[in-house]
Amino acid sequence: MSEKKLNVVVWNEYRHERLEEACRNIYPDGIHGLIKSFLEADDASLNVRLAALDDPDQGLPDEVLSETDVLLWWGHMAHHEVDDGLVERIRQRVYMGKMGLIVLHSGHHSKVFKQVVGTNGNLSWGRDQNEIMWNLLPAHPIAAGIPDHFNLFEELYCEPFYVPQPDELVFGGWFEDGFIFRAGLCYYRGAGKVFYFQPGHEFCRSYYNPYIQRIICNAVKWAAPNDIGYPIENGCPCIQYKLSDKFEQ
C-alpha cells in the first residue's frame, strides 16, 4: 500500500516580490514559489501548493485548510491584513493535532505565530550582514544532514526575542556585529508542532542555500501530524465511566 502524501501549503504575502524589483530579481516566482520547487524536488511524497494573501479567502479557504497537513508561513508588511477568523481556524487546527506550522523569518510578528505560540513576537533587528548559523541540537530530526555551522548573509535579528522558552532550540545565529539570536525554535502546542526559523529576508538569497533548503524539508517532515490513535475533542469532555472498571472486563 502506498504511503499517503502530505499536503503542504506554502503561504506568502507575495507583496515584496510584486512591488519591489530588487526582491523580484532574487525571487522571480515569489519566495513561496522557490520553496515549493525545492520541497517537491526533495520528496515525491509531498503535495505542495501555493497560497498568497491576495488570493480569494487569503489563499486558505476552508476546503484547503481542512486538508493541509503542514502550513509554511512567510509574512512581513501586511500582518494586519490577515483575517482574525482565519488565524483562529489555523490555531485550532494546530492545537487539535491536525496540522503542523512552520513560521519563517519576519513571520515572528504574524498574527498566526503570536496566537499559536502565545507571544508578542518582538525582537531587535539591524543591517544585512554575515551570519554564522550554529547547529545546537545535531540529534534533532530538523538538523539531520546539517554541519556544526554554516555561513549566511542575512538581516540582523537579535536578542532579546520575546517568545516563550522553546521546547527545543535547534539552531542559533551569530552575526558579525556580535549579536546572537535563537534562530530555530520548536514548540509543542496542544497536539500540534510549531517550528520558527529566522533566515529568509526578502532581499537576501538564503532560500537558495542548500542547508536552508534541507532544514525546511526536514522541518516539514518533523511538523507533520502524528497518527493519533484516538479522537481529540475541541473542549473538555466529561468522563462518565470509571477507568478501573476496565480491569474487570
Residues 148-197: tens digit of each pLDDT: 999 999 999 999 999 999 999 999 999 999 999 999 999 999 999 999 99
* The pLDDT value given to residue 99: 98
Q: Is 107 exposed, middle or buried (0-12, 13-18, 19+ CB in 10 A)?
A: buried
Statement: residue 1 has pLDDT above 60: no
* The pLDDT value given to residue 2: 53
The residue that leads in pLDDT, 196 or 241, is 196
Q: How confident is the model at residue 237 (pLDDT cuts 50, 70, 90)?
A: confident
Q: How confident is the model at residue 247 (pLDDT cuts 50, 70, 90)?
A: confident
Average pLDDT, the chain: 95
* The pLDDT value given to residue 95: 97
Sequence-distant (6+) residues with CB within 8 A of 202 are: 16, 17, 20, 23, 26, 27, 31, 76
Dist CA 52 CA 18 (whole Å)? 12
Closest among 47, 100, 38 to 69, alpha carbons compared: 100
Q: How confident is the model at residue 42 (pLDDT cuts 50, 70, 90)?
A: confident
Query: Are the C-beta atoms of 123 and 108 separated by less than 8 Å?
Result: yes
Write down the CATH number for the domain with range 6-117+182-228: 3.40.50.880
* The pLDDT value given to residue 43: 75
**DSSP sequence for 186-236:** EEEETTEEEEEE----TTS-GGGSHHHHHHHHHHHHHHSPP--SS---SS-
Q: Which residue has the cell 530555530?
A: 184
Dist CA 74 CA 59 (whole Å)? 13
What are the residue ranges spanned by the domains of the chain?
A: 6-117+182-228
Q: Please count the other Cβ atoms lying within 10 Å of the Cβ belonging to residue 91.
A: 19
Q: What is the mean pLDDT of residues 224-235?
A: 90
Percentage of the chain lying above the pLDDT 70 cut: 98
Statement: residue 239 has pLDDT above 90: no
The answer to whether the pTM exceeds 0.75 is yes
What is residue 245's DSSP assignment? G
Dist CA 40 CA 105 (whole Å)? 21
The residue that leads in pLDDT, 17 or 42, is 17
